[in-house]
Each structure stands twice: as structure tokens, then as C-alpha cells.
Amino acid sequence: MHFKLDSRSAPQTGVMENILLIRHWVARILAYSSAWNAGWCRQDKRFENDDILELLGFLPSREARIRRPPQALEKVIGEHSLDALLAEDDLYQNVVKLGDRLSLTEAERRLLVLFCYKDSSEILNEVCCLVKGGSMRQITALLARIVDVPEQDVQAALKPTGVLRVTQLLTLHMASGFRGKDLSCMIEVEDELHESLHVPDASDAHLVSLFYREADKAQLGLQDYKELKEEVAMLSRLLTRSVEEGIKGVNVLFYGPPGTGKSELAKVIGESLQMSMAFVPEEERDGDALTVKGRMGRYNGCQRAIAHDSRTLVVFDEAEDCLCDSPFMFFMPSKRQTEKSSMTRVLENNPRPTIWISNRVDMDPAFLRRFSHVVHMDNPGPSRRERLVREAMAGEAVSESFINEASKLESLSPAILHSSLHFSRLAAESDHVTESLIAHSLNARFKAMGVSERLKVETHKGLPWRGECLRASEDVASLIDQINPDVPVRFCLHGAPGTGKTAWGHELAERIQRPLIVRQASDLLDMFVGETEKQIAYAFEEAEQEGAVLLIDEADSFIGSRSNAQQSWEVSHVNQFLASLERFNGIFVATTNLLERVDEAAMRRFDFVVRFDCLDQEGVLLLLKDLADAYGIKLPAINVQRAMLDGMEMLTPGDFAATYRRLRVLKNPPDAAELVGMLRDCLSYKKKPSQPIGFMASLH
């Protein structure tokens, strides 16, 4: 057997070529009369390509001057049978290995070999250039003669649903048929496949690595997904039974924000089931990103390559480009790059169970209903987030208060947390700056993500919570101790700003040892129709799933009276809130400064409606002492304090918190008179409420 390097194929250095096989195919192509005629030069009255003539062993003075394909071509074709040439060809042997995994027909194998050699051999490519475009039937008939198989086999190999095309191993360029093209550019072999097949005696693992990569070992375990314990158990049974029974079309969707552990969970499930995980590649071996069609081709190839492996599952990560429409650009939707019909066939006929992982879920409903199960993986809830933070920061030089503050960050995902910790370990000069470095890294990431949350390294604890000083229509201090945390209850706290409504909700969650989820009205309101309703529903669902206290601040912003609504969406907001509140099986706290705006139906659904008022003088004295003690300010006798505070009836706990923050920036603390003056300043912008009379006065 003879091999030589085509000296004119510089970019393909190192590619071995079977010169006898190429010569055989060149003869078969030129025997097609139009190909020989296309190479004929009318002016010189001869076949003008001497390199081709030399390869065939023809003399320019004899065969080259024959106007029609010379009979000598048949002699070249008859020197060796195509079967014998292929049997000794290294590239064909690689195709056989690949064909065994993909269940390729002989026609499909020979077409791959032909077009691989066409791309690596300049002479064979030049001969293919002589075959001008025709109908699909004419081209398939010619290819059948070239590769020596029945014409119907070539037709089957090149049809859109054939293995070569659904796996993108071969691409047909026929937007308007093959007319105007020549054989060299009608059909192309996938670049990475071309490289793989030209590796001498390529291993089976190397060839199938084109379609999937084996998963790395999981860094987490089942214990790290305690909140998804039931989901994982159901998925494990689903995947196990579908494998054992050979059920087609089993697909599971994991979706949620980046960094929430979706890919890691897929690995964890695979390892727990003692199954291999085949990850569909997102890029080629050289690092270039695959197109959407390229990825779908890899996926189809992966499914065929592991079709007979009963212990392997498929994972398609970063699937949003294939499943979801592209984000809006300039208020114009960009269409998905996969056809709906082909995508539905993929989801209905995959032989091996597949886990699809996406950061988004805005896909065609026809796709969603074809998933066997859908799992939403959001950023960790309060309880899981605290556990992750404590585990990640174990051994780090951080304080308990820093861990508590970090655990409150709702945008904190496992990936972001570990990346920021990694940054702090590499960038730290000493252990004393660990907290500031972690906070700096997290805040930089949140800013880049467009998230308003920030982690602050606080050195001041603030004033202690004083339930006994609050002035409300209920004894709110003792009310916390009487609440049964296992019984659903709904609170509406109303009153002037700063009277302690939100702080009471925080204290309630801490005392009953439940996580707290806080939502401002701005967190729930959205400019797009229907999105506010989704945000409201999700807030209640998340709180119930986490067993958390749900506190919604400024609730009047979206549960205003429907009788005063001017837009239909205002009514829709209230309806969604009422429906979610009715179904909520947990503890709910709503705060508002404008109770008169709240819808009457919403008011009927609250178990406790508590009015918070400004502090009485005893409450003011108590907080004044706490404030003075925090900064070492000496206070006068109690009767003098009362005199100093005379006429300051509208102070609230919020005024003391604001003054505490103001004092932090001063190098030298003020004296008692100056401290009271600061509190008096807080009253300067407050409007005195009108005095209610008659029946309304009795309500107060």
C-alpha cells in the first residue's frame, strides 16, 4: 500500500493520503463525461491539468487529447477493486470504528471517506470542481458510481433525517439546489471530524469524544442538596426506570440563574446512580465555540454513540441557545436558531435519558410539555444560604456578624461565593483583611450583575431592639412570644414611618427561629405586563418552600383599593396578591404607611391589624439611654431629661437609629444637650397629624 503527502496541501501538513484510493476515485469521477469535458481546453485541444494526468499515468500527447473520457480510465478503475483499497486504508478503518458506534451504513461510511479525502487532497478536490451542479438525483447517481454502492443507499444517506446530516457530520449546501455549484463545495465534512479521522489508528475514545465529554468528578454530594431531597429521589427513580425499561423521550430540565449548582447536581445524581454522564460539548477541541446547529449535531451523535450503553446519561448544558428565543434586541424579538419541528422530534425520540440545563425558561410551550420533569434551581433560600456560607467560610478569619450579613444576600449563589473566597485567599496580605476582600469581591460581582444588594462590613452593631418601648394597638412585645410558628398567621402593620413595623417583623423571625424573606414593593413591581404577578406568586412560593417568614414592605404599592384603580393591571396585582395570600401556609407580615389605600378585601384576610404609633415619653427615655450608652454620653438626672424632651411627642425608633448612624461619623461624641438637639432635628421635617374627631377618634 502506498501513501504520500500531497505537497500542495500545506495547511494539511501531517495528513496521510492513500494515493491509490485517490487515483481510483479520480478515474471514477472523470469517467463521468461532463467532468472530463469540463477539464478540456478548447484552445489547446487537450485536457489541461497535467497533475491529474500524471496521477493517472496518462501521457499528455495521447490520452490528454482524447475529446471524450478515454477508455484508459476504465483500466485505472479496474486495477484495484474499491473494496480492497478501502480495506487497507487507515482513514476508512477509523470510519469503521466510528460507524460501529453510530450504526452507519456502508454508503454513509464511504461518503465520509470520499469527502474527507476531497478536503485533504488538492488533486481530488480539483477533479470534484469539474463536476458542475445538477439535480439532487443526478448528484446522488454520480456519488453512487463513485463510492460503488446502490443509488438508493446514497439517497438514504443524504436525506435530511439521515445520520450524517442530523449529526452534522456532513453538510449539504443546497439553498437553491445544487445548480451553480460544483461537487467540491456541495458537500462538506465537519472540520473536527476531518481532523479526528486523519489520526492514524485513532482510538474509539478519541473518535467519540467529538460528540461528548465524560463528566469530571462532582465536587459536591447529595448532602449539599438537602432542600431538593425529594426532587432528587424522584429523579433517581425516573432515570433508573427509563434506563432499565429502555423508554425513549425521557428528558429532564434544570433551569435557574447561573451558578446555582445545576451542572453539579446532574453529576451528583449520576454518581449516586453509578451511571456515567456524557456532557455534550459546548466548544471544539481547539476552544472555538460551536454553533447551535453544531451542538445539536453533537447531541444527536452522542445519542447514537451511547445508544447501547445502558449506564450512561446525557447532559446538555447551556441549552438556552437551543431551547429558548434570544433576548429582545431593540424591542425586536430574535428567533430561536433551531426549528420547532426538529426540536420536538429530538425531545420525543432520544433513546437515552437527557438532563437539559438552562439559565432561562422562556421557551416554546411545545418544548416545555415534552419534558418528563422540570426542576427550578434558584439562588439558595435563607436556610440553605446560611449553611453554604458557614461551610464555605469554616476556617476563614471572619466574624459571626460577617457570616450573618453574608447569609442575608439573596443574590448569593454557590459559584459566586466560592469565587469570592478564592479571590480573598489569593489577594490577602493578612487574615485581618479577609472580610473586606470577600465583601469587595462580592459587591463587584453584584454590581456587574446589575444587582442592588451589597455586603457591608459593619463594625457597629446598632441599637438593641426594644419591644417594651414600642407603642402599638397590641402588646407587640408579648405577642411574639404567644405566636405558634407552626400555625399560619397574617399580620398587617401600619403607622407612620420609623415606628418599628419592619424591625418587629425581623425580631419575629429571629425569635421563632425561622428564616426571613423581605421584599420591598420595588422588588415585586415590574414594567412588563404579567411580570409583577409572577414576582408576587414566586415570593409566596419561596417563603413557603423555605418555611420562612415573608415580610412585604410598602405593601400598599400593589394592593391598593381596586375601586380606585385606573388600569386593569392594578386590579390584576391585587387579585394575584389575594390569591397567593389565601394559599400561603406560613407567617406573613405586610407593612404600610398608608392603610387607607389598602384594598378592603385584603384587609379582611389579615388575622392581626396592628397600628404602630410614635413613642411615648417612657419609650423615648429608654432609647435615649441606649443611645447615650452606645457612645459613652453622660445623661443628666431623669427629671432633667424629661424637661429636655418636652414637646418632642413625634419621635420614633427610626429617629434614634438615624441619630445613631449620624454619631458614628463624629470624632468626638456630643454632650446630652447636643444629643437631644440632634433628635429634635429629626422632628423638623415631620408634619403634625390632624386630630381625629368623633367616631374616628374612638378607633385610635
Decide if 583 contacts 546 (C-beta within 8 A).
Answer: no
Band (pLDDT 50/70/90 cuts) for residue 65 is confident
Distances (CA, A) of 403 to 89, 220, 461: 65, 21, 14
| Measured distance CA(53)–CA(27) in Å, rounded | 10
Q: Which CATH class is domain 382-449?
A: mainly alpha
The overall average pLDDT reported for the chain is 86
Q: For residue 690, is pLDDT > 70?
A: no
Q: How are the residues of the chain apportioned to helix, strand and coil, as percentages rounded to the nearest 5?
A: 50, 10, 35
The top-scoring range by mean pLDDT among 43-57, 503-517, 570-584 is: 503-517
Tell me what the mean pLDDT of segment 398-426 comes to: 88
SS3 516: strand
> What local confidence, expressed as pLDDT, does residue 174 receive?
67
Q: Does 3.40.50.300 match the CATH number of domain 467-612?
A: yes
| Measured distance CA(319)–CA(358) in Å, rounded | 5
Tell me what the mean pLDDT of segment 220-244 comes to: 91
The domain made up of 211-325+335-376 has a fold known as: Rossmann fold (3.40.50)
* Residue 315, beta-bridge partner list: 279, 355
Residue 41, φ and ψ in degrees, nearest 5: -100, 115
Q: For residue 233, is pLDDT > 60?
A: yes
- Those residues whose C-beta lies under 8 Å from the C-beta of residue 7, and which sit 6 or more positions away, are none
| Measured distance CA(156)–CA(165) in Å, rounded | 11
Examine domains 211-325+335-376 and 382-449 and report if their fold is the same: no
Weakest-pLDDT range from 157-161, 506-510, 532-536? 532-536
Q: Where are the domains of the chain?
A: 19-204, 211-325+335-376, 382-449, 467-612, 617-684
pTM of the model: 0.75
Percentage, residues of the chain above pLDDT 90? 47
The top-scoring range by mean pLDDT among 216-230, 355-369, 552-566 is: 355-369
- Output Rg (C-alpha) for the chain, integer angstroms: 37
Tell me what the mean pLDDT of segment 436-454 comes to: 88
| Measured distance CA(266)–CA(122) in Å, rounded | 46
